[in-house]
Amino acid sequence: MGSGQTVAVFGAYGHTGRFVVARLRDRGFVPVLSGRDADKLKVLAYESGLEARPASVDDPASLDRALAGASAVINCAGPFATTAAPVIEAALRAGIPYVDVAAEIEANVDTFTHFTERARAAGAVVVPAMAFYGGLGDLLTTAAMGDWTTADEAHIAYGLSSWHPTAGTRAAGAVSRQRRDGRRVRFANGRLEYRHDDPPTLEWPFPDPMGPRAVIGEFTMADVVTVPSHLSIPEVRTYMTVEAARDLSAPDTPAPTPADDSGRSAQTFLVDVVVRSGGSERRAVARGQDIYAVTAPLVVEAVDRILTGRTRTAGVASAGEIFDAPDFLRTLSPHISLDLRP
């Protein structure tokens, strides 16, 4: 448990940030609220009784003040193409671990590219994409691999009942589209490939009760960065149910609305991971409710493990590399139903 340790949350007033703040308190941490909008921070501080420290990514001194005395920082503020590097720099100056919930593929690539050597030399811990996209898929893939050291391919299929995107998701998507200049991205032949053709539509055999569903193939998410960062798998493909992809692309799809006392939406998810090596196949399945809300137990568990020394490496590392994946997933049982099928 947190034992009263202070954790700074940058972007604390955002949709995901609020779930993270609540989860930190549940685990015995003391969140310090931070972010770029002083007015929103003031409202959240009044509601929660927590300290607020406004900070801007273009003002390093303000970030230093926000992180002063904190044991770790969680970055929930997208677009991460803008926020990740400045907050990582502040964490390195403060000598504390950095964890974010970035789903942006290119932003996560930037974190590995620009900070791997510096973080390793400093003995610092930087964990990007510790969220539903990127973190959960990586943990499931790592757990499914078991004692395999290599595999031919990994497939991560997202069965979402719907996808009502937050304002942050829409903003991050706009940045990603701009960086890709109209291209789409996939991970094949051991590297990221940018293409101009349309992704395929196919049927994915989700386990019961969902069953076979139409999906967008090569609907590429952050898993194509996190999984290959530490697993020898030259083909990593991700898929999305057609209905959820349609929701995301529609400009008039509303933001998530609460459906229970915890603030979760009614959205349900099933993540189906299949890894193949030669003629053998292994599978891991996770089910739960609300992709934004479930990010909170993922990222807070990560912080707890980092601060209690339950890590396997230092530097920039994805969830599956730095944590014991099966054990980590088991601790999420109140939030995620897990089925491993080696």
Domain containing residue 10: CATH number: 3.40.50.720
102 and 157: one domain?
Answer: no
Phi, psi (rounded to 5 degrees) for 89:
-55, -45
Token couple for 96: 């504390």
192 and 205: one domain?
Answer: yes
* Structural domain boundaries, residue 205: 133-290+334-341
70 and 137: one domain?
Answer: no
pTM for the model stands at: 0.97
Phi, psi (rounded to 5 degrees) for 13:
-90, -5
pLDDT at 2: 67
Question: Structural domain tally of the chain?
Answer: 2
Strand partners, 158: 240, 271
256 and 121: one domain?
Answer: no
Confirm whether 118 is domain-assigned.
yes
90 and 192: one domain?
Answer: no
DSSP SS3 for 289: strand
Per run of 10 residues, the mean pLDDT along the chain (length 342 residues) is: 88 97 98 97 96 98 98 97 98 98 97 97 97 98 97 98 96 92 95 95 94 96 98 98 96 96 96 97 97 98 98 97 97 93 65
Cβ atoms 107, 83 nearer than 8 A: no
Q: How are strands ordered across the β-sheet holding 125-127? A: 52-54, 30-35, 6-10, 72-75, 98-100, 125-127, 315-316
304 and 208: one domain?
Answer: no
Spatial CA neighbour of 45 closest among 3, 84, 17, 65: 17
Query: CA–CA separation, 97 vs 80, rounded Å?
Result: 17
pLDDT at 340: 84
190 and 69: one domain?
Answer: no
138 and 237: one domain?
Answer: yes
Query: CA–CA separation, 87 vs 67, rounded Å?
Result: 9
144 and 281: one domain?
Answer: yes
Strand partners, 275: 154, 282
Confirm whether 301 is domain-assigned.
yes
Phi, psi (rounded to 5 degrees) for 237:
-120, 140
Cβ atoms 24, 300 nearer than 8 A: yes
Confirm whether 228 is domain-assigned.
yes
Domain containing residue 260: CATH number: 3.30.360
87 and 112: one domain?
Answer: yes
11 and 61: one domain?
Answer: yes
pLDDT at 1: 62
Confirm whether 1 is domain-assigned.
no
257 and 140: one domain?
Answer: yes
Confirm whether 25 is domain-assigned.
yes
